[in-house]
Amino acid sequence: MNQTVCALRFFFGVTLGHNEIPERIAYARTPAKLPPILNSDEIVRFLEAIPSQKTRTALTTAYVAGCVPRRPSVSKSAIFDSERGVISVEHGMGGKDRTVMLSAQLLAILRVYWKLTRPQFWLFPGRDETKPIDVQVLHSAYRSACTAAGIDKRVTVHTLRHSFATHLLESGTEIRIIQVLLGHNNLSTTARYTKVSNTLIRSTTSPLDRLRLEVVPSG
């Protein structure tokens, strides 16, 4: 529909020169869909279903850092600071640099991975060790692991980032901290995770529970 709208706006505004008409031809509204979320149990089942240690470690890192592994070209030492306990995400969503906390469990996983693989150029190299792992390899591993773990939700690699934010919110992390961790410019973008947090929904008292209502009315 929007393609047709664009064609009509161009025809009337540019071809015919009626500048007042295009403003009256409205675009179709995009449905505001909530992102799918994997709960904690599903995250564990998903990660344990990945047979390759390299892809499992890469996707675990993506979840912990709230990243979308579109270009996982991280060097072997540039982003992990074990002394400060942080991960520096370079050129993340929107091309922005940001810092997130370094999980002690992820650090242990990375140390085991490092001892076994000893990567030379990239933390997660491809078949050619001078190049990073192909993003499509991670997407394929993600789909296979979801199937193996029996996860039938319509999810993508981006779901790891959504789950990261939602799990932080459900654990009591302030929404403005989550905004910084995700690198969002606007708080409203982060606030949508309040709509998918089951913990927040369950902990909200129904207005009915504030009323003294008899189950069976007398008389």
CATH of the domain at 90: 1.10.443.10
What is the predicted pLDDT for the residue at 147?
A: 93
- Domain shared by 5 and 68, yes or no: no
Pair 8, 44 in one domain = no
> Does residue 208 form part of some domain?
no
- Are 150 and 169 found together in one domain? yes
Give the angle 44-48-54 at the CA atoms, nearest 5°. Answer: 120
What DSSP state is assigned to residue 214? -
In the chain, the number of structural domains is 2
Considering the entire predicted model, what is its pTM? 0.69
In a domain, 12, yes or no: yes
Asked if residue 129 and residue 58 are part of one domain, the reply reads yes
Residues 6+ apart with CB under 8 A from 128: none
Amino acid at 144: S
Residue 178, domain member (yes or no): yes
What's the pLDDT at 73?
44
Residues of the chain with pLDDT below 50 are: 72-78
Range of the domain at 18: 1-30
Residues 95, 195 within the same domain:
yes
In a domain, 3, yes or no: yes
Residues 87 and 184 in one domain: yes
Contact 40, 167 (CB under 8 A): yes
- One domain, residues 20 and 54: no
pLDDT of residue 217: 57
Q: Position of tokens 């002394």? A: 83
- Burial track 166-195 (b if 16+ CB lie within 10 A, e otherwise): bbbbbeeeeeeebbebbbbeeeeebeebee
> Based on the domain organization, do 95 and 175 belong to the same domain?
yes
Do 13 and 119 fall into the same domain?
Answer: no
Q: DSSP labels for 128-156?
A: STTSBPPHHHHHHHHHHHHHHTT--S---
Note whether residue 209 is domain-resident. no
Tell me the per-residue pLDDT of 150-191, one tens digit each, with 9 for 90 and over.
998 888 888 888 898 888 888 888 888 888 888 888 887 788
Same-domain pairing of 95 and 184: yes
Q: What is the pLDDT of residue 95?
A: 61
What local confidence, expressed as pLDDT, does residue 89 receive? Answer: 73
Do 70 and 15 lie in a common domain? no
The torsion region of residue 155 among left (phi > 0), alpha (psi -120 to 50) and beta comes to: beta
